[in-house]
């Protein structure tokens, strides 16, 4: 079974978001979007921007959630993922998982 192209787009976008927002790579939003479009050449510019914006918002929400839960001493990966994935398309769940895993690792090391 072949996965839909948007699955690949969102997986690559998650990696780009982690590198851009979490690690300071690419230096600018424009460069991050350029990297995304190069890594998923079949995606349109609009598709790349949509995935980038969606996952940027998920990154922000995940970061806030991880900080809040960690401060309360009750950081649960499963609960955080469930909260972040609620009401989102299934093809984004792995991307959200990857972002959350990176943030939890980064916040708790």
Report how far Cα 47 is from the mean position of its chain's Cα atoms. Answer: 15
**What integer is the mean pLDDT of 41-48?**
92
Provide the pLDDT for residue 2: 40
CB environment 26-56: b (16+ within 10 A), e (fewer): beeeeebbebbbebbeebeeebbbbbbebbb
Q: What is the residue-averaged pLDDT of the chain?
A: 89
In this predicted structure, the answer to whether residue 7 has a pLDDT above a threshold of 80 is: no
CA 103 – CA 97 distance, rounded (Å): 10
CA 89 – CA 91 distance, rounded (Å): 6
In this predicted structure, the answer to whether residue 1 has a pLDDT above a threshold of 60 is: no
- pLDDT tens for 56-109 read 999 999 999 999 888 888 888 888 888 888 888 888 889 999 999 999 998 877
- Domain ranges within the chain, ordered by starting residue: 5-108
Instruction: Determine the angle formed by the axes of helices 45-72 and 29-39, rounding to 10 degrees.
Output: 110
């Amino acid at each position: 079974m072949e996965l839909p192209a948007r699955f690949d787009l969102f997986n690559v976008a998650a990696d780009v978001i982690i590198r851009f927002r979490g690690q300071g790579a690419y230096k600018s939003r424009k460069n991050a979007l350029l990297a995304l479009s190069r890594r998923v050449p079949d995606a349109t510019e609009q598709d790349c921007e949509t995935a980038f914006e969606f996952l940027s918002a998920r990154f922000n929400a995940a970061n806030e959630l991880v900080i809040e839960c960690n401060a309360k001493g009750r950081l649960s990966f499963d609960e955080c993922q469930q909260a972040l994935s609620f009401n989102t398309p299934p093809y984004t769940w792995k991307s959200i998982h990857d972002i959350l895993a990176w943030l939890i690792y980064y916040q708790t090391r």
